[in-house]
C-alpha cells in the first residue's frame, strides 16, 4: 500500500513541473520584422523569426525609455516613440534584452 501511494504522489508532481515549463518555452516564433516595446515593459511579439539579411525594427510604444541589446553587440537606447533597426546577416538564434529592465524584457530572434 505504501509504495503505491508514493508512486501516485511522484507522478502528480511531474505533471505540475511539465505544465509550468511549457508556458514560456513553447511560445511559437512569429514571422515578422517588427517588434513593439509595448505597455508596460514588454517586447511584443517576444520571439520572432526572420530570413538572413533582413533587419528587425523595434519601436517604443511604451511610456518609458527602453533599450535593445542583442547578446554580444552594443546597446541601443530607444526613447518613447522612437525606433531602432538591427540587421541580421547570419543564420542563428539571437537573444536580446532591454538592459534597463532585463528582468522583465527579453526576447529572441531566429534567423533562417
Ligand atoms: Cu525596458
Residue 20 confidence (pLDDT): 43
**Residues 58, 68: contact at Cβ < 8 Å?**
yes
Average pLDDT, the chain: 86
Strand partners, 87: 55
In angstroms, what is the span from residue 23 Cα to ligand 1's centroid?
22
C-alpha 66 to ligand 1 mean position (Å)? 4
Phi, psi of 51, rounded to the nearest 5 degrees:
-95, 150
Q: How confident is the model at residue 27, as a pLDDT? A: 75
**84 CA to middle of ligand 1, Å?**
14
Task: Name the nearest CA neighbour of 59 among 76, 77, 34, 94.
Answer: 34
Cα of 42 from ligand 1 centre, angstroms: 8
**What is the 67 CA–ligand 1 centroid distance (Å)?**
6
* pTM, 2 dp: 0.77
Strands 92-97 and 66-70: antiparallel
* DSSP-derived 3-state class of residue 63: coil
Ranges under pLDDT 70 in the chain: 1-26
Amino acid at each position: 500500500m505504501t509504495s503505491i501511494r508514493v508512486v501516485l504522489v511522484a507522478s502528480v508532481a511531474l505533471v505540475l513541473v511539465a505544465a509550468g515549463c511549457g508556458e514560456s518555452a513553447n511560445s511559437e516564433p512569429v514571422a515578422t520584422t517588427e517588434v513593439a516595446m509595448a505597455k508596460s515593459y514588454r517586447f511584443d511579439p517576444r520571439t520572432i523569426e526572420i530570413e538572413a539579411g533582413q533587419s528587425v525594427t523595434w519601436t517604443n510604444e511604451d511610456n518609458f525609455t527602453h533599450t535593445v541589446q542583442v547578446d554580444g553587440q552594443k546597446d541601443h537606447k530607444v526613447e518613447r516613440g522612437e525606433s531602432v533597426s538591427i540587421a541580421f546577416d547570419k543564420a542563428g538564434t539571437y537573444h536580446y534584452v532591454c538592459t534597463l529592465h532585463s528582468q522583465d524584457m527579453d526576447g529572441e530572434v531566429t534567423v533562417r
